[in-house]
Chain A
Amino acid sequence: MTSFFNALPGAVAQGLIWGIMAIGVYITYKLLDIADLTVDGSFCTGAATCVVLVMAGNSVWVGLLGAALAGALAGLATGFFHTKCGIPAILSGILTQLGLWSVNLAIMGMKANLPMNVNNYKLLVSLRYLQEVQKGTRPFYQHPIFVVCLLTLAIIAVLYWFFGTELGSSIRATGANGNMARAQGINTNFNKVLGLALSNALVALSGALLCQYNGAADINMGRGAIVIGLASIIIGDVVFGKLFRNFGLKLLAVSIGAIIYYIVIQFVISTLSINTNYMKLISSLIVAVFLAVPYWQQTYTHKKQKEGKVC
């Protein structure tokens, strides 16, 4: 149990970082009604781009910006496959994701793992900083939780503003009812591409933060990201769905959902001493159950109605 509490700040920091990725997934999954599998690749694209840029002597902000742009390009590719080539959205995402594997390796100079020593670069977040703030050798405002919290709130504020604009509303309409959107003169294909680019920019930004936090970019770091994203959205919705009606608060719920997810994972790892290699299996099963619950509820009540037990 003590090991769990010791690891708690780290879990929260990681959850916050992944929360930004989950907010990106929220844009495609909830607003555009597209299950975009690009994220498994674009997460690493962000990390790789950031590490390479920072190690080339650029500031960490350039690294983050470059990562976001690279992610947006990945989203653009998926959007191109989907809207210009007529490939179903889910398959378009898979194609981009697969292609990104090579692209990511190329960015990292054909290395599967690219370490970045925290002592040699001025980073925004790092596990080392977290430990040093706890020891008192660093000021609190360099604590990863504090930094990523601020960043998350800034991102939520910008998204809240954007999706309230004429353009942002038209993206929401595209996902809510494509027929209606086109009848109202909205270019739904353009909006889908824009949404995919925006979403993957956030996903890549999250990857860029995680590689700083871990001190390395790894070719496998985005594997299963979509599942973590969905898990965060679902947990956020289950816990805060009734409470949070406002769009900004809904995004906040996604971020908190990611934190809860990582705390639970940390709890399982530290108390049940399960081999961490089983985590992906456990995660996918948990998400499957959460996705299935609404369906089960529906069929169950339907059956009851048929039997005449519920009027």
Chain B
Amino acid sequence: MLKLETVWKTFNPGTVNEKTALHGLNLHMQEGDFVTVIGGNGAGKSTMLNAIAGVFPVDSGKITIGGVDVTALPEYKRAKYIGRVFQDPMMGTAATMQIEENLALAARRGKPRTLRPGITKADREFYQEQLKILGLGLENRMTAKVGLLSGGQRQALTLLMATLQKPKLLLLDEHTAALDPKTAAKVLDATQRIVEKDHLTTLMITHNMRDAIAYGNRLIMMYDGQIVVDVSGEEKKNLTVEHLLNLFSQASGSDEVSDKMVLS
């Protein structure tokens, strides 16, 4: 489904801030895979997701989604295949537009935008049904501006928007990191339900090791722009946080594990 072949990305080349964020990265995901991604700050997790989404062009390498080479496609064209939820709750929705307007925009992802009315009555009923799945009561506030919603509500809405048009690939960039633990659990729960319902191929970054173990059928750990740990199947089911830390220090050849990773 998703294939990254020796992808390189260096930021600010030739300056003191030069940083090679992706180090000839290789990743191959099967259809229906739910992969969780962990790694310290600066390991290249977000860079990998943004490279897949096309936020910036990569220096070299090849990215294919469902057999389509998207390496040279701009971000808005790749959106046809990709649903995304960002870390920042402000980023995934348009605050000054209504809930139903946001959904209508998402419903047209990958399709031409014409001079037909943005929202029809049938659309409205469909969105209402979909909002019920979230269980947040948003179905009764369809014309409210999204700016009035809480961070958790916005993330849940963004999640719904990302999957309204079934994407070939769902990218979740620490989408619960900015939420309080209770809300985060709710959003993660909704994520699990939606991913299972539509059998979505999903790539989820998380700072929380327990979540990384609990969710998905495969876990990868990144270090210095490369994948250093890759566990799936039975092995993943039996993982513990302690075991994961061991794997990490073996793979990276150091005991250097960020406090944030241990604590979370």
A-side residues, CB < 8 A to B, are 162, 164-170, 172-173, 176-177, 179-188
Q: Which residues of B contact A177 (CB under 8 A)?
A: 90-91, 93-95
Q: How many B residues touch A, CB cutoff 8 Å?
A: 36
With contacts A177-B94, A180-B92, A180-B94 taken as known, whether A165 is within 8 angstroms of B75 at the C-beta atoms is no
Q: B53 is contacted by which of A162, A166, A170, A183 (Cβ under 8 Å)?
A: A183
CB distance from B247 to the nearest CB of A (A): 33
Which candidate, B24-32, B63-71, B100-108, B227-235, is the interface stretch facing chain A?
B100-108
Q: Which residues of B contact A170 (CB under 8 A)?
A: 105, 108, 113
Instruction: Evaluate contact between A185 and B109: CB separation under 8 angstroms.
Output: yes
Instruction: Evaluate contact between B113 and A166: CB separation under 8 angstroms.
Output: yes
- The docked-state distance in angstroms from the alpha carbon of A167 to that of B109 is 12
- Minimum-distance CB pairs A-B, first 7: A185-B79, A176-B94, A169-B118, A166-B113, A185-B109, A177-B94, A167-B113
B253 at the interface (CB under 8 A from A): no
Instruction: Evaluate contact between A185 and B80: CB separation under 8 angstroms.
Output: yes
Query: Which residues 46-81 in B have Cβ within 8 Å of A in the complex?
Result: 53, 74-77, 79-80
Most buried by A among B90, B109, B116, B118: B118
Q: A184 is contacted by which of B109, B115, B117 (Cβ under 8 Å)?
A: B109
Q: Which residues of A contact B105 (CB under 8 A)?
A: 169-170, 173, 180-181, 184, 186
Most buried by A among B94, B106, B115: B94
CB distance from A29 to the nearest CB of B (A): 14
Give B82's nearest chain A residue, CB to CB.
A183
Instruction: Evaluate contact between A172 and B116: CB separation under 8 angstroms.
Output: no
Q: Identify 14 residue pairs between A and B in the complex whose beta-carbon atoms are under 8 Å apart, listed by A's number.
A: A165-B114, A170-B108, A170-B113, A173-B94, A176-B96, A179-B92, A182-B76, A184-B79, A184-B109, A185-B79, A185-B80, A185-B108, A187-B74, A188-B76
Instruction: Evaluate contact between A184 and B96: CB separation under 8 angstroms.
Output: no
Instruction: Evaluate contact between A184 and B116: CB separation under 8 angstroms.
Output: no
CB distance from B100 to the nearest CB of A (A): 11
Most buried by B among A166, A167, A182, A183: A183
The number of residue pairs between A and B whose CB atoms lie closer than 8 Å in the complex comes to 89
Q: B115 is contacted by which of A167, A179, A180 (Cβ under 8 Å)?
A: A167
Most buried by B among A162, A165, A179: A179
B86 at the interface (CB under 8 A from A): yes
Q: A165 is contacted by which of B92, B111, B116 (Cβ under 8 Å)?
A: B116
Give B112's nearest chain A residue, CB to CB.
A166
Q: Which residues of A contact B53 (CB under 8 A)?
A: 183
Q: Which residues of B contact A173 (CB under 8 A)?
A: 94, 97, 105
B-side residues, CB < 8 A to A, are 53, 74-77, 79-80, 82, 84, 86, 90-97, 101-102, 104-106, 108-111, 113-119, 161-162
- The docked-state distance in angstroms from the alpha carbon of A180 to that of B101 is 13
Instruction: Evaluate contact between A166 and B91: CB separation under 8 angstroms.
Output: no
Instruction: Evaluate contact between A185 and B76: CB separation under 8 angstroms.
Output: yes
Question: Can you name 14 extra interface pairs (CB under 8 A) apart from A172-B97, A183-B82?
Answer: A164-B117, A164-B119, A165-B114, A165-B117, A168-B118, A169-B105, A172-B101, A176-B97, A177-B94, A180-B102, A182-B79, A183-B75, A183-B79, A185-B80
CB distance from B95 to the nearest CB of A (A): 7
- The docked-state distance in angstroms from the alpha carbon of A180 to that of B94 is 7
CB distance from A150 to the nearest CB of B (A): 24
With contacts A170-B105, A176-B97 taken as known, whether A183 is within 8 angstroms of B84 at the C-beta atoms is yes
CB distance from A17 to the nearest CB of B (A): 28
- The docked-state distance in angstroms from the alpha carbon of A182 to that of B80 is 10
Give B90's nearest chain A residue, CB to CB.
A177
CB distance from A193 to the nearest CB of B (A): 14
Q: B114 is contacted by which of A166, A183, A185, A187 (Cβ under 8 Å)?
A: A166
Give B104's nearest chain A residue, CB to CB.
A169
- The docked-state distance in angstroms from the alpha carbon of A162 to that of B113 is 12
- The docked-state distance in angstroms from the alpha carbon of A166 to that of B118 is 4
Q: Which residues of B contact A164 (CB under 8 A)?
A: 117-119
Q: Which residues of A contact B110 (CB under 8 A)?
A: 185
- The docked-state distance in angstroms from the alpha carbon of A166 to that of B106 is 11
Q: Which residues of B contact A184 (CB under 8 A)?
A: 79, 105-106, 108-109, 161
Q: Which residues of A contact B97 (CB under 8 A)?
A: 169, 172-173, 176
CB distance from A246 to the nearest CB of B (A): 12
- The docked-state distance in angstroms from the alpha carbon of A188 to that of B108 is 14
- The docked-state distance in angstroms from the alpha carbon of A185 to that of B81 is 9
CB distance from B208 to the nearest CB of A (A): 24
With contacts A165-B117, A166-B108 taken as known, whether A179 is within 8 angstroms of B95 at the C-beta atoms is no
Q: Which residues of A contact B161 (CB under 8 A)?
A: 184
Q: Which residues of A contact B117 (CB under 8 A)?
A: 164-166
Q: B76 is contacted by which of A165, A168, A172, A187 (Cβ under 8 Å)?
A: A187
With contacts A176-B95, A177-B94 taken as known, whether A165 is within 8 angstroms of B79 at the C-beta atoms is no
- The docked-state distance in angstroms from the alpha carbon of A169 to that of B93 is 13
CB distance from B118 to the nearest CB of A (A): 4
CB distance from B18 to the nearest CB of A (A): 22
Q: B101 is contacted by which of A162, A169, A183 (Cβ under 8 Å)?
A: A169
